[in-house]
Amino acid sequence: MRRAVVLLSGGLDSATTLAEAVSKGFEAHALTVRYGQRHDIEIECAKAVARAVGAASHRIAAVDLSFAGGSALTDPSLPVPKSRPDDAIGAGIPPTYVPARNTVLLSLALAWAEVLEARDLFIGANVVDYGGYPDCRPAFLRSFERLAGLATRAGVEGAAFTVHAPLLLMTKADIVRRALDLGVDTSLTWSCYDPAPGPAPCGLCDACLLRARGFREAGVPDAFSLARR
């Protein structure tokens, strides 16, 4: 059984990505990375998703990206935008972009893959809703595969790494449908960007608005994470 490391934030996209890895027959090892101001509720959601979807193991890695600043997700002095109009979401690079985030996340996944002797990495990157993010583009993911081959013992010995991004070209509605097809309990997932949410997601940040649009277009109701807690 081939091993894979799957980046799992606890959100809808990464939960669906984990389910894809499991459904493809991988022994899927889930990695949740805490960076900057992300909150405990996301970690709890990630743990619940890892268990429910059937990850072979689940580890939490901590990296403090607040040292670099420059993002509303890691710098408490920068506000997370709320209630942006539909056409603003996905256009350009928003303040919630975290510099070099996917490079850092994939590097940590690669470190664990080297120890696990895994050659496959999964990430929930998406270019439909995050087209302005340079590190969600296919060329970036292919470049990371080449880097992984040069960065590791396994690569030196001839192994090739694959970065799987099964949601790359899907709309949020497609992702919702795929999640349901794969049996993901979407009520366990948490998408909200708000640094200090109440008991339910804020409903107004880009991530909440994108998620709501996805469920609406897929024609299914969204059970907020906390409904079941």
Question: Distance (Å, rounded) from C-alpha 13 to C-alpha 8?
Answer: 9
| The one segment of 14-22, 43-51, 93-101, 164-172 that binds a second copy by CB under 8 A | 93-101
CA atoms within 13 A on the CB side of 87: 0
Closest CA to 165 of 109, 218, 86: 109
**60-69 CB burial, b ≥16 within 10 A, e <16:** eeeeebbeee
Cα–Cα distance measured from residue 153 to residue 188, given in angstroms and rounded to the nearest whole number: 37
Q: Should residue 64 be labelled a site residue for a second copy when binding is judged by CB under 8 A?
A: yes
Residue nearer to a second copy on the CB measure, 94 or 214: 94
The 3-state DSSP class for residue 142 equals: helix
Alpha-carbon dihedral sign for residues 35, 37, 164, 25: positive
155-184: contacts with a second copy (CB under 8 A): 155-156
Residue 137 has which token pair?
Answer: 């583009």
Of 108, 118, 170, 207, which one interacts with a second copy (CB under 8 A)? Answer: 108
| Given 2, 146, 228, 229, the residue binding a second copy (CB under 8 A) | 146
How much is the CA Rg of the chain, to the nearest whole Å? 17
Of the candidate spans 12-20, 43-51, 91-99, 186-194, the one that interacts with a second copy by CB under 8 A turns out to be 91-99
Distance CA 223, CA 104 (A): 31
Which range in 18-26, 46-54, 107-115, 172-180 contacts a second copy by CB under 8 A? 107-115
Site residues for a second copy, window 124-143 (CB under 8 A)? Answer: 134-135, 137, 139-140, 143
Closest separation in Å from C-beta 148 to a second copy: 8
What is the C-alpha to C-alpha distance for residues 141 and 147, in angstroms, rounded to an integer? 10
User: Which residue stretch of 9-17, 95-103, 188-196, 214-222 sits at the interface with a second copy (rule: CB under 8 A)?
Assistant: 95-103
Binding site for a second copy (CB under 8 A): 31, 59-65, 67-70, 93, 97-104, 107-108, 110-112, 114-115, 134-135, 137, 139-140, 143-144, 146-148, 150-153, 155-156
